[in-house]
Amino acid sequence: MSFCYDIKNEIGSIKPNPCCKLPLTYGFLLFSRAFSSEKISMQTENETAAKLYAKLLKECYNAETKIEVGGKKKPTYRAFVPDFSDRLKILASVDFGIAKGKINYDCFERECCEACFIRGAFLACGQIVDPEKGYRADFSVRDKSLAEELQAFLDKNFVKANVAKRGNGFTVYIKQREMIINLLTLMGASSRSLDLIETTMMRDVKNNTNRARNCDSANIRKAVSASVRQRKAIEYLIKKDVFYSLPKELVSAGELRLKYPIEPLSELCKNTDEDISVSGLNHRFKRIEDIYLKLSKGK
Ligand SMILES: [Zn+2]
């Protein structure tokens, strides 16, 4: 199966926190094929996504969903709510300003809820190209204002995306490797993110014989997982408005990491004016991660 199929299976299988269930459902509904009193439906090639949609509607609204399988070459799953009163019930209880095509931020209690919302949106209308073939992720969205809302939402979560018209609707697309990694990390597809970076790093290494001699895949994997952890900590601290109040050596280390998201520490040291060793830099990242762990646990 495709990379995209695997990603959807992976993020569709993550059990949401109690606070996240509604945001996840909200993302699904808002970005699915139809969401009105006449029709509430989604269509996908991914069975996990269709089943999750049905399960969430049952659990959140006690609404019945039917799933029909069609498609000639590949199976296509269409999940829809046949009962008019069920549809009204969902619309009435959701009432998140959907008519205006806006994302209602009031339904996100915590940071985890925003991540779940985007996961629902991706399951409803997202696609991602196999990283071996190129870098592209996109969301197919019904109308322009919703597409722009999604773009702003992603931007707020460190994912830079663009909007373009496509067919009858719009596409919100991401073409930069780092941004795709951010998106995958945001959606909770952590092992996938690592695989993606590893694939591309391996490719870069293969293109550089000098470095190939010094690198093996275990080392790359170690460096990559450390860089993802570090970025996650830094981005969290920025979001919580504490990052720039940290001691300045930590701020400069964090900024360096954001500028070079996946490079190993030895490369970071070469790219700064500061006189710092690999172990010194590593120590700074440890301190950043400690602060992150303390803060994120305290919430
Ligand atoms: Zn939550």
Same domain, 149 and 261: no
Same domain, 19 and 88: yes
- CA–centroid distance, 290 to ligand 1, in Å, is 23
Report the chain's terminal Cα–Cα distance, integer Å: 39
- CA–centroid distance, 24 to ligand 1, in Å, is 9
Does the residue 195 lie in any domain? no
Q: How many CB atoms lie within 10 A of CB 118?
A: 25
pTM summary value: 0.73
Q: How many CB atoms lie within 10 A of CB 58?
A: 13
Same domain, 22 and 144: yes
Same domain, 277 and 156: no
- CA–centroid distance, 23 to ligand 1, in Å, is 8
- CA–centroid distance, 243 to ligand 1, in Å, is 23
* pLDDT at residue 66, rounded to an integer: 97
Q: How many CB atoms lie within 10 A of CB 99?
A: 9
Same domain, 24 and 161: yes
Same domain, 47 and 88: yes
- CA–centroid distance, 268 to ligand 1, in Å, is 34
Q: Number of structural domains, the chain?
A: 2
Does the residue 205 lie in any domain? no
Same domain, 179 and 50: yes
Q: Which of 186, 208, 232 is the last residue of a domain?
A: 186
Question: Nearest Cα to 195, choosing from 212, 232, 220, 174?
Answer: 220
**Three state DSSP letters for the chain:** CCHHHHHHHHHHCCCCCHHHHHHHHHHHHHCCCEECCCCEEEEECCHHHHHHHHHHHHHHHCCCCEEEEECCCCCEEEEECCCHHHHHHHHHHHCCCHHHCCCCHHHCCCHHHHHHHHHHHHHHHEEECCCCCCCCEEEEECCHHHHHHHHHHHHHCCCCCEEEEECCEEEEEECCHHHHHHHHHHCCCHHHHHHHHHHHHHHHHHCCHHHHHHCCHHHHHHHHHHHHHHHHHHHHHHHCCCHHHCCHHHHHHHHHHHHCCCCCHHHHHHCCCCCCCHHHHHHHHHHHHHHHHHHHHCC
* pLDDT at residue 216, rounded to an integer: 58
- CA–centroid distance, 204 to ligand 1, in Å, is 37
Same domain, 135 and 244: no
Same domain, 121 and 222: no
* pLDDT at residue 151, rounded to an integer: 96
pLDDT digits (tens, 9 = 90+) for 56-78: 999 999 999 999 999 888 899 99
The alpha carbon dihedral of 15, 128, 170, 174 has a sign of positive
Same domain, 145 and 220: no
pLDDT digits (tens, 9 = 90+) for 96-153: 545 556 788 888 888 789 889 999 999 999 999 988 788 899 999 988 999 999 999 9
- CA–centroid distance, 27 to ligand 1, in Å, is 13
Same domain, 30 and 165: yes
Does the residue 171 lie in any domain? yes
Contacts of 56 (CB under 8 A, 6+ apart): 21, 24, 25, 28
Q: Which of 136, 168, 186 is the last residue of a domain?
A: 186
Does the residue 169 lie in any domain? yes
CA 124 to chain centre: 13
Does the residue 252 lie in any domain? yes
Same domain, 226 and 290: yes
- CA–centroid distance, 261 to ligand 1, in Å, is 27
Does the residue 39 lie in any domain? yes
* pLDDT at residue 209, rounded to an integer: 46
Does the residue 204 lie in any domain? no
- CA–centroid distance, 117 to ligand 1, in Å, is 9
- CA–centroid distance, 38 to ligand 1, in Å, is 30
CA 184 to chain centre: 4
Contacts of 170 (CB under 8 A, 6+ apart): 140, 141, 142, 143, 144, 146, 147, 163, 164
Residues spanned by the domain of 116? 3-186
- CA–centroid distance, 216 to ligand 1, in Å, is 38
- CA–centroid distance, 107 to ligand 1, in Å, is 10
* pLDDT at residue 213, rounded to an integer: 47
Does the residue 255 lie in any domain? yes
Place of tokens 């269709």: 50
Residues of the chain with pLDDT under 70: 95-101, 190-194, 196-198, 201-221, 298-299
- CA–centroid distance, 11 to ligand 1, in Å, is 15
Q: Which amino acid is at 109?
A: E
